[in-house]
Structure 1
Amino acid sequence: MGDFHYAKDADGIVTVTMNMDGPVNAMNAEFWPLFAATMDRIEAEPELKGVIWTSAKDTFFAGGDLKMLKSIEPDGVEALFRSVEATKAVMRRMEKQPVPHVAAINGAALGGGFEICLACNHRIAADNPKTKIGLPEVTLGLLPGGGGTVRLTWLLGLEGAMPFLLEGRQVSPDKALKAGLIHQVVPADQLLTRAKEYILSVQGDAAAVTQPWDTKGYKIPGGPSTAPHNMTRIAGAAAMLFKKTRGLMPAPTRILDIMTEAAGKVDFDTATRYESRRFVSLTPLASTKNMIETLFFGMNKVNGGASRPKGVPTSKVQRLGILGAGMMGQGIAFSAATAGLPVVLKDQTLEAAERGKAYTATLLDKRVKQGRMSAEEREAVLALITPTDKADDLKGCDLIIEAVFEKIDIKDAVLAEHEALLAENGIWGSNTSTLPITRLATGATRPENFVGLHFFSPVDKMPLLEIIAGEKTSDETLARAFDFARQIRKTPIIVGDSTGFYTSRTIGTKIIEAVELVAEGHDPLRVDNLSRLTGMPTGMLSLLDEVQIKLVTDIYNTQVEMGLLDPDKEQNPAARAMLAEMISQHGRHGRATGKGFYDYDGQGKTIWPGLAAWRKEGADIPDADIKDRILFRAVLESLRCLEEGVLRTVEDGNIGSILGIGAPVHTGGYLQYVNTYGPARFLARCEELAGKYGDRFAPPEILRTHVAEGRALA
């Protein structure tokens, strides 16, 4: 069993070193008895000068017990409320003591860990580059329920607290100090010394042992929520939250509600009790369970290497070559250089390669301007990128990524010219979203060292890397590609070499289904808006305009020409015909040309009037059918990918769908959606949709098997 190590020194200062069972300290069933017993002992301590709270772990405190929270059902909410209130009562005893309590933050303090810090009178963080401070609960469908929502609102005011509470922002110690979250940043080896010095320096100072919210006459920074300027701010925040969440993720709205109450007329203790009620009300919700399951447990499994081939030693790329300095190549170069990796960036001309490097310079300039990077750090990153037009400059790279046009003949030519430049046993990565890796590897002298690396645009912002295994790609190559992804701070999934792989294959289904609905005669604005109301980041017709109608059509035609798709088996023939007509007869190529499903004038967009030609009188189906047709197509394709072995794990499908192709976050990903919808209920709905709209909604055998066996997807 872990413990809270308790030590009192000759100066009358008690140091509590949290060392709970397991790799981190967490608010689990073990925590409360230790916390309460320690407070009992502190309160009975004679001649006490102060208390220091620190950790024996690499992290200070990791937060709540997510496994326990995910297990809460409606009948367990009241018991959870009592448990939360009991823990918060100990925190109140702690902050009302007549001696200072200091949080000596030696590592990451997130969620419940930072809530403990907020209950201390003084917060000192070690200058540790790995330390993050914040309240990220909202990113998992929860809210800070250990007093964090109320305390941070009182401490920073509504405006100051919003980014940390509504966005779950996590910051370094220096930024936490600047924001007012902590009071000091000190060298790690001086942490406890400086904490003791602080305690001794404030002896007899009543203000030092009184929290702001317990100080008579204290005013919340920026004023109460009833002030006119704050009422406007709250209304604006509420509108922005709905635009972002579509009302499908309740946590941000409930956080704003608590903040409004806390900064209003209720007293501190009433506000924290209200916070507890709102916190426990989130735990039984499907959206909360989905987000915890995928964005915490699933993410940890994926990044931890659940799909990485076993038994292959961990590796690091020492020198990276990139062929093509266009949009994708320059983004890959940025990601690699900012991770400290030397890059040779080659294009057909030196001018083009230098433009690719300039992209990194532009992004770094923004960081310097925002204070996120020094000028010296900027220069160090830029020095890692060598632009060139000479093939020999790539000699000795242990990984070369070609990021040239999505045409097989061009990729073949680039491979033939540069593969021999690889270091001994170096690997070749093809950045492609649709072209078969097995086919591309036929020109390689070492196809076992050839792998697909599908980056997402813009590379500097999109966190996913889809690694594609060709028929001859070795496990060693896959493992090295996985390690490279982690090296440049991407989240990797490993998939099979099916047409469109996983992400492109799946994203295409929901887009083409939206087009099918328009081709059937439905109002395009209705279709676009209802697709957004499923929780997807943008409407499907708007998304198609962004990725370009012509590009999508060209890819489809190429796959037909290559024999990868059979047009006679096309599941959305009306949609394909509509897109072909929009391109050939009306020149509607997409947003880049100003003309797609929408007209773009530089100021905004309006639906193209010509779509009226496809409208049909009497074309009317329920909103629920439109939303389900779009969402279910993507879910069903994910199930087929799992069934065919294109996906190696359920977690890869969930993480890939959220990070790469815009699956609604509240679903926890396309496969997790089946679990909380209920496999049997989902199967029945699929059969209903198939009966009304076609066999493309027929449930795959893998779903029938799970239903028959009464088990969830895992």
Structure 2
Amino acid sequence: MNLTNFRFETDEQGVAVATWDMPGRSMNVITTEVGEELLLIIEEVAANAAIKGCVIASGKDSFSGGADLSMLENFGKEYAKLRKSKGEEEAASFFFEKARSLSLLYRRLETCGKPFAAAIQGSCLGGGFELALACHFRVMADDDKTRVGLPEIKVGLFPGAGGTQRIARLMPTGDALQMMFKGEQIRPQAAKGMGLVQALAKREDVVSAAKKWISDGGKGVQPWDDPKFRLPSGKVYSPAGMQIWPPANAIYRRETNDNYPAAKALLQSVFEGLQLPMDLALKVESRYFAHILRSKEAAAMIRTLFLSMGELNKGARRPASVPPISLKTIGVVGAGFMGAGIAYVSALAGLEVVLLDRTIEEAEKGKAHSHKLMTDQVMKGRAKTADRDALLARIAPSADYAVLGGCDLVIEAVFEDPKLKAEVIGKISSVIGKDCILASNTSTLPISGLGKAS
């Protein structure tokens, strides 16, 4: 096999390991080329009698961040060109096949007759987690950096490579819907308790644990392909089902006001899919996915939240005459809800923060917000006491505008009153240096008007 994105090796016991390690990238993502190589691996494992099964592992710190969204955007561009040259019918057929290609690939993996196991470490999200779900066994690194999840809803999409159908067959329907609607990232212990993975191991042992499962006789059959399989929450049209679906529909409408097509399509995919055999259910999911992928809402969210965000972070709109700067100390004026939150995330990012308010007591109260948030993280085991102490040491409460003189950036975050903001901006302007950036946290007042006070 001629592979660029994977390394493929087989040990003496006949257990293969496909190590996903894309060159030139810090994170594995799903591209057309990755799909083509994965199909080669699946067919090799299925056809080679000397291979018992295959472990899919990562050569990077994380398993996968999911699909390359620029690839999905390109599908839309190809569809538009084909529609113009060949007509809607041919373009729609092309787009549907493109949209379901990953779903078909994963279905081929789970029905090839040989066991596949996923060795998960770091982030395993979106289409990457859908790949793991198609594997017959999943072992997850039991550490703070490892997460699994399906966050597609956050970029205007929903899981379209079998995720809606496999998740809804692994756990109670209500839990499955909640997980996908929220786009949650699940920690190891919770993932095992929810049935998303079958085993946990130390990071350095995940591959060996996956190999052992295959060596010990792991079967290449998914639960939903067993004739005796029963849905965790029972049939859709049953007394139990009727306790799930009407409330789920009501919650969807309450939370979205019917403005998020992807959330509606997700709900419909699960509702219809759970009434069908797996292959037909996947086809239903693919039809909804193709429809959403072509929607203006998904296109706008992918562009704004992913593609344009990447360009923004790289400084694509930076004027050529303005060099990059490095912030070390920022000032936040106004220690209320917004100001305290800005101080927290800034200190969390490693910046020194001056938190200023009318009195030192009010400024201290704003700092206490960070203490509470970090204490919650400590109680949940997500941070250490030393982390909390270090963050709090980076926040300096004050009631003296003069301390803003050493800041690289000052953000005013006082109440949304134009007179108050103008007064505060004037005071800030009188003490900061000529190279300091003065910003406003306003959400309703024109920034041009506030700028006149500086």
SS in 1 for 2:396: strand
* Structure 1 residues 406-459: Cα deviation after superposition (integer angstroms, max 9, x where no partner): 34344433544xx3xxxxxxxx5xxxxxxxxxxxxxxxxx43x132323367xx
Aligned residue number for residue 500 of structure 1: 446
Describe the shift of the 1:284–1:412 C-alpha distance in structure 2 as closer, same or farther (beyond 3 A).
closer
Aligned residue number for residue 413 of structure 1: 427
* Structure 1 residues 110-156: Cα deviation after superposition (integer angstroms, max 9, x where no partner): 22211111011222334676654322222333222211110011012
- Amino acid corresponding to residue 304 of structure 1 in structure 2: K
Residue 333 of structure 1, CA deviation: 1.6
In 1, Cα distance between the equivalents of 2:183 and 2:311? Answer: 22
* Structure 1 residues 338-359: Cα deviation after superposition (integer angstroms, max 9, x where no partner): 3343434333433222212223
Aligned residue number for residue 56 of structure 2: 53
Check whether the contact 1:77–1:281 (CA below 8 A) recurs between aligned residues.
no
In 1, Cα distance between the equivalents of 2:298 and 2:180? Answer: 16
Check whether the contact 1:107–1:130 (CA below 8 A) recurs between aligned residues.
yes
Check whether the contact 1:141–1:249 (CA below 8 A) recurs between aligned residues.
yes
Matched, 1:269 2:279: yes
In 1, Cα distance between the equivalents of 2:372 and 2:307? Answer: 36
1:162-241 maps to which residues of 2 (within 5 A)? 162-173=177-188, 175-200=190-215, 203-206=216-219, 209-241=220-252
- Amino acid corresponding to residue 46 of structure 1 in structure 2: A
In 2, Cα distance between the equivalents of 1:286 and 1:338? Answer: 36
In 2, Cα distance between the equivalents of 1:391 and 1:141? Answer: 43
Matched, 1:254 2:254: no
In 2, Cα distance between the equivalents of 1:70 and 1:139? Answer: 19
In 2, Cα distance between the equivalents of 1:185 and 1:311? Answer: 52
Check whether the contact 2:136–2:222 (CA below 8 A) recurs between aligned residues.
yes
Aligned residue number for residue 628 of structure 1: none
Aligned residue number for residue 347 of structure 2: 337
Aligned residue number for residue 14 of structure 1: 16
In 1, Cα distance between the equivalents of 2:62 and 2:377? Answer: 27
Residue 45 of structure 1, CA deviation: 1.8
In 2, Cα distance between the equivalents of 1:145 and 1:323? Answer: 45
* Structure 1 residues 179-225: Cα deviation after superposition (integer angstroms, max 9, x where no partner): 4323344444433333323433xx2355xx43221234333333332
Aligned residue number for residue 425 of structure 1: none
In 2, Cα distance between the equivalents of 1:56 and 1:453? Answer: 42
SS in 2 for 1:47: coil
Describe the shift of the 1:182–1:307 C-alpha distance in structure 2 as closer, same or farther (beyond 3 A).
farther
Check whether the contact 1:111–1:135 (CA below 8 A) recurs between aligned residues.
yes
Aligned residue number for residue 355 of structure 1: 365
Matched, 1:242 2:242: no
Q: 1:308 aligns with which of 318, 322, 329?
A: 318
SS in 2 for 1:258: helix
Check whether the contact 1:158–1:225 (CA below 8 A) recurs between aligned residues.
no
1:483-494 maps to which residues of 2 (within 5 A)? none
Higher RCO (C-alpha 8 Å, min separation 6): 2
SS in 1 for 2:244: helix
1:426-575 maps to which residues of 2 (within 5 A)? 428=432, 446-447=433-434, 449-455=435-441, 500-501=446-447
Describe the shift of the 1:327–1:284 C-alpha distance in structure 2 as closer, same or farther (beyond 3 A).
closer
Check whether the contact 2:363–2:398 (CA below 8 A) recurs between aligned residues.
yes
Matched, 1:117 2:132: yes
In 2, Cα distance between the equivalents of 1:102 and 1:351? Answer: 57
In 2, Cα distance between the equivalents of 1:86 and 1:320? Answer: 48
1:153-164 maps to which residues of 2 (within 5 A)? 153-164=168-179
Aligned residue number for residue 167 of structure 2: 152
Check whether the contact 2:409–2:438 (CA below 8 A) recurs between aligned residues.
no
Describe the shift of the 1:177–1:68 C-alpha distance in structure 2 as closer, same or farther (beyond 3 A).
farther
TM-score by length of 2: 0.81
* Structure 1 residues 91-111: Cα deviation after superposition (integer angstroms, max 9, x where no partner): 334223554311123443322
- Amino acid corresponding to residue 42 of structure 2 in structure 1: M
In 2, Cα distance between the equivalents of 1:312 and 1:171? Answer: 41
Structure 1 unpaired stretches of 5+: 420-427, 429-445, 458-465, 467-498, 506-554, 564-714
* Structure 1 residues 651-704: Cα deviation after superposition (integer angstroms, max 9, x where no partner): xxxxxxxxxxxxxxxxxxxxxxxxxxxxxxxxxxxxxxxxxxxxxxxxxxxxxx
Aligned residue number for residue 541 of structure 1: none
Check whether the contact 2:339–2:366 (CA below 8 A) recurs between aligned residues.
yes
Aligned residue number for residue 291 of structure 1: 301
Residue 42 of structure 1, CA deviation: 0.7
Residue 274 of structure 1, CA deviation: 1.4
Check whether the contact 1:153–1:262 (CA below 8 A) recurs between aligned residues.
no
Residue 369 of structure 1, CA deviation: 6.4
Matched, 1:68 2:74: yes
Describe the shift of the 1:327–1:112 C-alpha distance in structure 2 as closer, same or farther (beyond 3 A).
closer
Aligned residue number for residue 39 of structure 2: 36
In 2, Cα distance between the equivalents of 1:100 and 1:156? Answer: 22
In 1, Cα distance between the equivalents of 2:390 and 2:345? Answer: 14
In 1, Cα distance between the equivalents of 2:245 and 2:33? Answer: 38
In 2, Cα distance between the equivalents of 1:376 and 1:237? Answer: 42
In 1, Cα distance between the equivalents of 2:98 and 2:356? Answer: 60
Aligned residue number for residue 642 of structure 1: none
TM-score by length of 1: 0.54
Aligned residue number for residue 83 of structure 2: none
Residue 268 of structure 1, CA deviation: 1.8
In 2, Cα distance between the equivalents of 1:395 and 1:185? Answer: 51
Number of residues of Structure 1 aligned to a counterpart in Structure 2: 435
In 2, Cα distance between the equivalents of 1:390 and 1:360? Answer: 21
Aligned residue number for residue 651 of structure 1: none
In 2, Cα distance between the equivalents of 1:237 and 1:407? Answer: 44
In 2, Cα distance between the equivalents of 1:93 and 1:253? Answer: 28
Aligned residue number for residue 105 of structure 1: 120
- Amino acid corresponding to residue 500 of structure 1 in structure 2: P
Describe the shift of the 1:407–1:79 C-alpha distance in structure 2 as closer, same or farther (beyond 3 A).
closer
SS in 2 for 1:224: coil
Describe the shift of the 1:346–1:90 C-alpha distance in structure 2 as closer, same or farther (beyond 3 A).
closer
In 2, Cα distance between the equivalents of 1:344 and 1:384? Answer: 8
Check whether the contact 1:154–1:262 (CA below 8 A) recurs between aligned residues.
no
- Amino acid corresponding to residue 80 of structure 1 in structure 2: F
Aligned-residue RMSD, C-alpha:
3.6
The sequence identity of aligned pairs, in percent, is 33
Check whether the contact 1:4–1:38 (CA below 8 A) recurs between aligned residues.
no
Describe the shift of the 1:241–1:69 C-alpha distance in structure 2 as closer, same or farther (beyond 3 A).
farther
Describe the shift of the 1:390–1:22 C-alpha distance in structure 2 as closer, same or farther (beyond 3 A).
closer
Structure of larger gyration radius: 1
Residue 270 of structure 1, CA deviation: 1.9
